[in-house]
Structure 1
Amino acid sequence: MNKYACQYAIVRFLPYLETGEFANVGIVMFCPDARLFEFRLLRHIRRITSFFEELDAGIYRRAANDFKQELKRIHNWLDPKQENRINADLARHLFAELTRPREAMMRFDTVRVVLADDPVQKFDELFGHYVERNFATKAYQEQLLEKNVRRILTDAKLDKQYRPETLGDAATYHTRLPFVHRKNGRAVKAIKPLHLAHEDPAQIYDHGWAWLGKVEKLRALKLLPDRILFPVQRPTENDGRRFEMFQEITQKIAANDVVVIPDQQTQKIIEFAQD
């Protein structure tokens, strides 16, 4: 069976440019040899409004509808059943132009390539993986935690003092922290919400260990803020293997001069941010 080289890109919805928060809401795929162009956008508006709580659902509907009309026009030009379909070279150029970086609420992630026996089946798999599953992933959970911390800081009128920053040296090591406070040009405090409530106990330990490593590396480079807070989402149960792994890794993190608290302790987050 022939394998087709297919290009695809994830569609992201980014309503607030200043925060950088986004949700994966669609997939586009182009397989030149198969003369195939497919696209699909998320239909479940509730998923978007539950993530962007203050967002008017109509904003997403309008943005998605306008974007869909653009994708339909591209689809018509590439459809092999159309008498006036464009040639392969122009089709490649058109897809490249469609997916170029843009400053808009609906935008594309980097174009990727995948080999597929059945491009349509692969398209369904990609949509399920990057869009449907996106709302249950660790990254999504941490975005929700970050939103909660941002709301806490905003309510306490501290949000102007904290900005997302990438700390480190681009030539050696760097990592992004969502809330960094600078004083006299120095990063003195940082807050990083952490999701440690995975179903797999090993993932709890591994994710915590990864962030402990980031802390140690930034400290070795003398780039770690003086004080750092990890509000953590923990397993619901107080015993069992998940809780054991949670306790073990959070104790190791705390032993490295990181303040670790439950993510629901709003007052302690405010006190840390104010102090």
Structure 2
Amino acid sequence: MKHICNYSILRFLPYPETGEFVNIGIVLIADNGDFRFKIEKKRQRVTNFFPSLDSKIFLRARREMEAELTRLSGFFTANRSNLNSLLGTFKHLVHPRETMMRFSDPGTMAIENANQAVSELFDHYVNHSFATKEYQETILERQLGKLLSASNLKQRYSEHKLGTADYPVKFPFVMINGAQPVQALKPIHLGHDEPSKIIEHGDAWISKVRRLSSAEQLAQDTLFIASPPEEGKTKLLKAFREICQELKGFPGVRVTSTAESRSSLLEEIKKGIPESIH
């Protein structure tokens, strides 16, 4: 049976002056009284977008929002026969306000199952289920470019193909000293929702690195900056660690995580820059 629901996207907007925000959750109310919500668990999504933000600010704001939505869930359950009251409460919840946690204008859709609907909306608006791994890595490359720019390092790097004429491999950030590639930086998206996807994407780069290493065409230092899967997902993390370990098995290849702080990432990058050109 189809039901009509209203939904709204929960957004985290720590700096009202810029208007920048990150989608972090979904709230939904159906005309049969079903209320559902889902909030992003990974803080890296927010801290990567707002690198200068103290993560404790987001964690506290998220904790308070989760407590409020949990409290409202009890109210909706106890009053599900009074649809007018529920809709009024939902409208008040998503009403515009001057806080770090804000809601989008409500949308309307027909659904069959509230649990499935909130998951699908979350995957679309928060996880960007429409985005390919190429799209995800473009975002990671853009973030790395901003980090290098802020540290006055970006001008030392350029996009470059390493390898041979028959087998060129493109890296987005390569530092050349004379004719020698001394460092190559490659953000890699390994935050997939299935172990097989992590392994497939990781294996593709392991194969490329193996060929480059055999042909002695790797940079002196190659640093993969990998985005990890969701915390607490044992099978996903196992696949992630396996790929990272295999990559680190090649001479001159290192791996770090996008979950590291900006300062830690910069330290890892600088470790691979020869002292003579620091």
Query: Given the two structures, how large is their TM-score scaled by the length of structure 2?
Result: 0.48
Query: Given the two structures, how large is their TM-score scaled by the length of structure 1?
Result: 0.49
